[in-house]
């Protein structure tokens, strides 16, 4: 976590530092991301980073927490009581995820890499712990919905939770592949992770009409299709 030296920086300087770090770690895995590249972009001494954070891992863990908190700000006002059905509620959660991805592409791209692509041995325990925590959140959501009568009580909670999580992952996978979610990449950015796109695996090469759709329209169509599957599979 950040040292007091970082916490004492003016907010604008903190944000500039975080932005530079997110940019580097969103385009490179943990082991190849360069602190030297970060300080060069910021035009500061390399030692400044270690005045702010104990080491590279400490910095990455802070960025992971920061990015997740940014994502959660888009969900804080989505309450189940405001929706007539579970599918409407779940769809709103996914639409807020879309808004987050489009409004904060580098933060979203960092989270995607941290969740799906990061394979550093130094981060293994933390990543396993986060994934376990994520599925537990979905399990609590399913249990609450069962009590409300929105989901069949005979369904296995863990199975439904994994299905819901996979829908969220599919949508995030699609969004990270779009031009809009990559619009702030520098010219020397590595090519997008084409093989990870669920959207392309399901639908193949996009037709001319599909290319004309906005990212939001295409993502919402994907949500609708997945929610049809959801409704047929797990709702009462």
Half-sphere exposure of 72 (CA within 13 A, CB side): 8
Q: Which CATH number do you get for residue 196?
A: 1.10.357
Please check the confidence at residue 13 and state whether its pLDDT lies above 70. yes
Q: Say if 57 falls within a structural domain.
A: no
Q: Is residue 74 predicted with pLDDT exceeding 60?
A: yes
Q: How many CB atoms lie within 10 A of CB 132?
A: 9
Q: Is residue 26 part of a domain?
A: no
- Domain, as residue range, for 119: 63-234
* Strand ranges in the chain using DSSP code E only, listed in sequence order: none
- Round to whole Å and give the CA distance between 85 and 92: 11
**Considering its fold, how many domains does the chain have in total?**
1
CA distance 87 to 235: 9
Question: What is Dmax (Cα atoms) for the chain?
Answer: 60
Q: Contact at 8 Å (CB) between 196 and 116?
A: yes
117-147 confidence digits (pLDDT tens): 899 999 999 999 998 999 999 999 999 999 9
In angstroms, rounded to a whole number, what is the distance separating the alpha carbons of residues 228 and 236? 13
Rounded to whole angstroms, the Cα distance separating 211 from 200 reads 12
Q: Does a structural domain hold residue 43?
A: no
Which of these ranges, 12-21, 37-46, 63-72, 160-169, has the smallest mean pLDDT?
160-169
Tell me what the mean pLDDT of segment 50-64 comes to.
Answer: 96
pTM for this predicted structure: 0.79
* 229 lies in some domain: yes
């Amino acid at each position: 976590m950040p040292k007091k030296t970082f916490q004492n920086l003016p907010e604008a300087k903190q944000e500039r530092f975080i932005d530079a770090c997110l940019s580097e770690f969103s385009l490179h895995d943990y082991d190849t991301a360069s602190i030297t590249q970060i300080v060069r972009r910021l035009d500061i001494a390399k030692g400044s980073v270690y005045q702010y954070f104990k080491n590279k891992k400490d910095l990455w863990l802070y960025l992971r927490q920061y990015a997740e908190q940014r994502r959660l700000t888009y969900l804080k006002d989505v309450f189940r009581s405001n929706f007539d059905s579970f599918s409407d509620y779940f769809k709103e959660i996914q639409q807020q995820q879309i808004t987050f991805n489009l409004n904060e592409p580098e933060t979203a791209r960092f989270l995607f890499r941290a969740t799906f692509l990061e394979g550093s041995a130094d981060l293994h325990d933390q990543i396993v712990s986060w994934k376990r925590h994520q599925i537990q959140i979905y399990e609590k959501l399913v249990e609450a919905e069962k009590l409300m009568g929105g989901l069949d009580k005979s369904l296995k909670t863990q199975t439904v939770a994994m299905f819901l999580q996979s829908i969220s992952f599919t949508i995030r996978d699609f969004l990270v592949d779009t031009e809009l979610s990559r619009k702030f990449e520098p010219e020397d950015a590595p090519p997008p992770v084409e093989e990870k796109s669920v959207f392309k695996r399901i639908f193949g090469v996009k037709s001319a009409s599909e290319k004309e759709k906005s990212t939001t329209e295409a993502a919402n169509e994907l949500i609708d299709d997945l929610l049809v599957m959801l409704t047929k599979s797990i709702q009462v």
